[in-house]
Amino acid sequence: MTEKAKLVNDALEEAVPLQEPLKIHEAMRYSLLAGGKRVRPILCLASCELVGGMEACVMAMASAVEIVHTMSLIHDDLPCMDNDDLRRGKPTNHKVYGDDTAVLAGDALLSLAFEHLATRTAGVRPNRVVQAISELASAVGSLGLVAGQIVDLSSEGKQDVDLNKLEYIHVHKTAKLLEAAVVGGAVLGGGNSGEVERVRKYARSIGLLFQVVDDILDVTKSSEELGKTTGKDLLSDKATYPKLMGLERAKEFAG
C-alpha cells in the first residue's frame, strides 16, 4: 500500500468512529474500511498537490469521494440491484448486516460525505467548499452515478446495447466521480479557474480508460485475485467492453 493510501485509510477510519447506534456504524465501517485501492482519493490528493495546495485542505474531499464510492457499491450490490455476494474478498454489506441496514448504511455514508466537506475544511475559503460540494453532488445524482446505474440496470439482458450506451454507463458510473475527485482537489487546493478546468479535462480523459481496464480484469482474473465475483458481468448479460468489442480489442483500447 502506498503512503498516500495509508493517509486516506487513516482519515476514513477517523471519519466513522464506532459509536451508538452500533449496528449502523459497524455496517458503515465494514465496507468503508474493507481495503480498496483508494484510487479516487489518491487522484484528489495529487490534483491538490498539482496546484500547490496543502493536503490538510483537501483530505475531506479525498475522504468524501471514497465514502460516496463505498455507498454506491453497497447499494449496487443489493439483491434488488446487481445482487452480489462478494466484494473486495468479503461478503457484501447486506449479506452481513441485512438489506435494511445496507440501505441505511449507504444513506448515512452519502450524507456523511457532504457533512465531512462542510465541517472538515476549516482554513479553506467557504466559496471553494461550496463549489466542491456542488461538484460532488452532481457526480452522484440523477445525472451522475445514479443515471449510470439506472441505465445499466435497464440494459441488462437486452441485445441492443451498443458502445454509445456502454460509454454512457461508464461515464456516469465511473468517470463523473473521478472528475469530481480531481476537480474538487484542485478547487480546495486553491487552484485558479484555468487550473481547475485543465484538471477537469485531464480527469475526463482518464475516466473512461479506468473502466475499460476494470472490465478486462473482470474477465481475465479469478475471483480470488480480485476479491469479487468475477465473470459475473458476462453471466448476468451485462454490457461490458470485452463483450462488445471482444477481449483483445478491449485490451488494445485500454492500451
Pick the closer one to a copy of itself by CB: 4 or 63. 63
CB 28 within 8 A of CB 105: yes
Q: In the bound complex, what is the minimum distance in angstroms from residue 71's beta carbon to a copy of itself?
A: 8
Torsion, CA 240, CA 228, CA 100, CA 41, rounded to 10: -80
CA pair distance 212, 255, nearest whole angstrom: 10
* Cell numbers standing for residue 176: 463523473
**2 is a contact residue toward a copy of itself (CB under 8 A):** no
Quick note: the x/- pattern for a copy of itself over 3-42, rule CB under 8 A, is -------------x--x-x-xxx--x--------------
Give least dist CB 163 to a copy of itself, A. Answer: 18
Q: Is 60 in the site for a copy of itself (CB under 8 A)?
A: no
99 binds a copy of itself (CB under 8 A): yes
Does residue number 108 form part of the binding site for a copy of itself (CB under 8 A)? yes
Number of residues that bind a copy of itself (CB under 8 A): 55
Part in contact with a copy of itself (CB under 8 A); list of ranges 51-59, 141-149, 200-208, 221-229: 141-149
Q: Are 189 and 203 in contact (CB under 8 A)?
A: no
Contact between 153 and a copy of itself by CB under 8 A: the answer reads yes
Which residues, 65 to 94, sit near a copy of itself by CB under 8 A?
71-72, 75, 78, 80-81
What Rg do the C-alpha atoms of the chain give, in angstroms?
18
* Residue 87 backbone dihedrals phi, psi, to 5 degrees: -150, 125
Alpha-carbon gap, residue 242 to 217, rounded angstroms:
10
Alpha helices in 33-158 (DSSP H): 39-50, 55-77, 93-97, 99-119, 126-140, 145-155
Work out the angle between the directed axes of helices 99-119 and 22-32 (0-180°, nearest 10).
80
Residues near a copy of itself, by CB under 8 A: 16, 19, 21, 23-25, 28, 71-72, 75, 78, 80-81, 98-101, 103-104, 106-108, 110-112, 114-115, 117-119, 121, 125-127, 129-131, 133-134, 136-138, 140-147, 149-151, 153-154
